[in-house]
Structure 1
Amino acid sequence: MPSVLLSQVKLGDKIVQDVQTPLGGVLFHKGKVITPRELEILQAFMISSVVIEAREGAEDEPAKIMPAEEQKKESKQAASMQTNQTHSMQNEYDQLFKLLKRVHNQFITGESLPILEIRTKLEALLKHIKEYNVLAFLPNIRNEHDYIFHNSVMSAMTSYQLALWNNFAQKDLLPIAMAGLLHDIGNIKVDKNLLYKPTSLTQAEVDEMKQHTVYGYQLLKSVPAINEGVKLAALQHHEKVDGSGYPLGVSGEKIHPYAKIVAIADIFHAMTLTRSYRKPISPYLVLEQIQSESFGKLDPLYVQTFIEKVTQFNIGTVVRLSDDRIGEIVFSDRNQLTRPWVSINKTIVNLTTERHLYIQEIISR
């Protein structure tokens, strides 16, 4: 396993020892195969040498590289597989979205919610959870009034993912996803003119909107097919750990863990989705706001896990900055995960120091 100068590294060489940046972060993990992109990044970070897998034959023999036609074929196959997987997830997403919208529009006070049908559709969607990327996935919102349904479906997926990341028991995973899906079910009983009002609400209207938490609990409390955590998530997802939330102003351990998980998912999607009265906010700026709210408002452990996990695999992600320049994430500072380093035309933009800039949009992974 020779250590070679960067000038001697060849395309196709395999790195067998993690490459670290001067700040101690991992730039490339072992197993990474050198391509022109990797060489560019190594040069940008002024890496002098790397440890590579011993080459077969003479030392100066060119590394074996897959022929261009084979590379192209393999790339097309991988892209096709990815597209099929995405279409499958999107199809299940659309089915659950349509069901939730139908339930909301057709619900009549006194009738029961079709919980079994909702659960079945939700389970079908969650089979594709490995294909879901919290930061990158955005639904196609054709009608501004559809926001509340998209928020619910995406909150279900994100709540499930966050529960997995926080090592919740298997028996809790589906109920937590159900809690995310039904957290705003109380909006069924809110005046639709108020729900879709495009201008600012009066204080009286704000107070009425806040009642959706109580309405949601009332709708779910007598449903035997869901557990108490799901019902309490509908009631408590706007409560804060310092007691400053609503509707009851409970704090700390009095807030159910399901509600604490759903609160994070709800805030994230409420701010990153298109609303009738504003454009979506950068997911990275939203993460920063969620992080600031971990000091007294949201559960700090769940918040830290959320931020660490959603930003964990960003190396190589193509993004658009707030000044419209497009580049590629090449490094994430472990202490400032929402402000990675971005390579733009071979120039590194360090968002930890250039605070006036931020990532506006994720273009591709």
Structure 2
Amino acid sequence: MPNISVAEVKPGSKVIKDVVTPLGGVLFPKGKIILPRDVEILQAFLIQQVEIEGNQGEAVPAENVKAAAKTLPVKAGTLINESVLAKSNSSLHDEYEKMLILIKQSYRSVAAASIPIFELRSQLEALIGNLKDYHVLKFAPRILHDEDYNYHNAVLSALTCYKIAQWCGYPQKDWMQAAFAGLLHDIGNVKVDGALLHKPTPLNGAELEEVRRHTTYGYQLLRNVTAINEGVRLAALQHHEKIDGTGYPLHLEGSQIHVYAKIVAVADIFHAMTLEKAYRKAQSPYLVLEQLQTESFGKLDPVIVQTFIQKTTDLYNGTRIRLSDGRHGEIIFTDRSNPTRPMVQVEGKIVNLMMERELYIQEIIA
């Protein structure tokens, strides 16, 4: 039948053609049964008309609404049992903390002894064994001391690099090596003055040059380590290189940069900005994703960035969040063409973060 006005749409109606947002994202797919809240979503997205099955003037069977409610939602909304999630996460956190202790010991002893690579691999495998419970935007260490920032960044980067390698479709043989690249990318910091690494004020030229040497120090420390490939060593050297050649230490461009270094660059920036430091509060993961999006134009690999953003924001409807103004709500729809700006329901009202740009998601609660 012809398109009808959104004002005439009744809950229980069936959409017979994809409903598309003004920016081109699919709001509701063909075949969706409209629920009462969906009408509000249509209005919030300024959709004028939709194509509905049958005669809209007829009474809508109640079973249509019930069936739609029962199926809400699988991809976009099966609510996770929080007690099950908390229980499974305890194992993830346990293995995370073991990995944190081991990487801390390894970093501290590397100048005097060889890196215990096989112990690191064994613990990394145990940690990755719990990867199903790791969500980049949701996971937070149980304990986070300011002085342990670099070690947390290493372990989180390892987990995230493994996931990025999977998401981007790289061969399975690369997944663990990508995780090693994340784990060891900043190992060169052990040869840099710790006071510079934690200095709360801007570094002067000489200090900045010294800190930047951690990339070459890292490559040197990993040069003779067995059980890792050359890509892991190059990730330590190249993770601050930029696609346009403006990075350091070698000013490499595009294809000259190893893919592990490109993966680590994204994971490292994300965790560096979302972890709290002694002199700087943790930033909103959603704002960091938007900054990564900006950096993908000439600085970071655009395919890796886009994949990372799409996968990390692929959250279930019903995910509870805290907005930047302190209000709590839940995600009710994510337009895949603008994944960092979903629609959220707050205090009974729908807030479209695409329209209200001054607001953003500060934190994922559950």
**Do both share a fold (TM > 0.5)?**
yes
Residue identity over aligned pairs, in percent, reads 52
How far apart in 2 are the matches of 1:259 and 1:91? Answer: 28
What are the superposed Cα offsets for residues 170-193 of structure 1, whole Å, 9 maximum, x if unpaired?
Answer: 111100001000000111111222
CA separation of 1:76 and 1:259: change in aligned 2, threshold 3 A: closer
- State the Cα distance separating 1:194 from its structure 2 match: 2.2
What are the superposed Cα offsets for residues 64-120 of structure 1, whole Å, 9 maximum, x if unpaired?
Answer: 9xxxxxxxxxx9994332222111111111110111112223x15242000000011
**Secondary structure of 1:339's partner?**
coil
Partner of 1:67: none
1:326 to 325, 328, 337: 328
1:88 to 87, 91, 114: 91
Tell which deviates more after alignment, 199-208 or 157-166.
Answer: 199-208
Matched, 1:309 2:311: yes
Partner of 1:360: 362
Tell which deviates more after alignment, 246-255 or 78-87.
Answer: 78-87
Q: Which runs of 5+ in 2 are unaligned?
A: 1-7, 54-60, 68-77
1:163 to 146, 162, 165: 165
How far apart in 2 are the matches of 1:29 and 1:90? Answer: 38
- State the Cα distance separating 1:25 from its structure 2 match: 4.6
Partner of 2:341: 339
What are the superposed Cα offsets for residues 96-151 of structure 1, whole Å, 9 maximum, x if unpaired?
Answer: 0111112223x152420000000111111111112111111122343101111111
Decide whether the 8 Å contact of 2:155 with 2:183 is kept in 1. yes
- State the Cα distance separating 1:7 from its structure 2 match: 5.5
CA separation of 1:16 and 1:99: change in aligned 2, threshold 3 A: farther
How far apart in 1 are the matches of 2:225 and 2:232? Answer: 10
Partner of 2:103: 100
Tell which deviates more after alignment, 217-226 or 137-146.
Answer: 137-146
CA separation of 1:28 and 1:127: change in aligned 2, threshold 3 A: farther
How far apart in 1 are the matches of 2:211 and 2:143? Answer: 23
**Secondary structure of 1:238's partner?**
coil
Q: Partner amino acid for 1:281? A: Q
Larger RCO of the pair (alpha carbons < 8 Å, separation 6+)? 2
Decide whether the 8 Å contact of 1:141 with 1:274 is kept in 2. no
Q: How many residues align?
A: 337
Partner of 2:74: none
Decide whether the 8 Å contact of 1:285 with 1:358 is kept in 2. yes
User: TM-score normalized by structure 2?
Assistant: 0.82
Q: Partner amino acid for 2:261? A: A
Decide whether the 8 Å contact of 2:21 with 2:27 is kept in 1. no
After superposition, the CA RMSD in angstroms is: 3.0
Q: Partner amino acid for 2:89? A: T
Matched, 1:118 2:126: no
Decide whether the 8 Å contact of 2:191 with 2:214 is kept in 1. yes
1:279-290 → structure 2 map (5 Å cutoff): 279-290=281-292
1:147 to 142, 146, 149: 149
Matched, 1:40 2:37: yes
Decide whether the 8 Å contact of 1:21 with 1:45 is kept in 2. no
Q: Which runs of 5+ in 1 are unaligned?
A: 52-58, 65-74
CA separation of 1:207 and 1:76: change in aligned 2, threshold 3 A: closer
What are the superposed Cα offsets for residues 158-210 of structure 1, whole Å, 9 maximum, x if unpaired?
Answer: 11111101000011110000100000011111122222333332221111111
1:268-283 → structure 2 map (5 Å cutoff): 268-283=270-285
Decide whether the 8 Å contact of 1:27 with 1:330 is kept in 2. no
**Secondary structure of 1:250's partner?**
coil
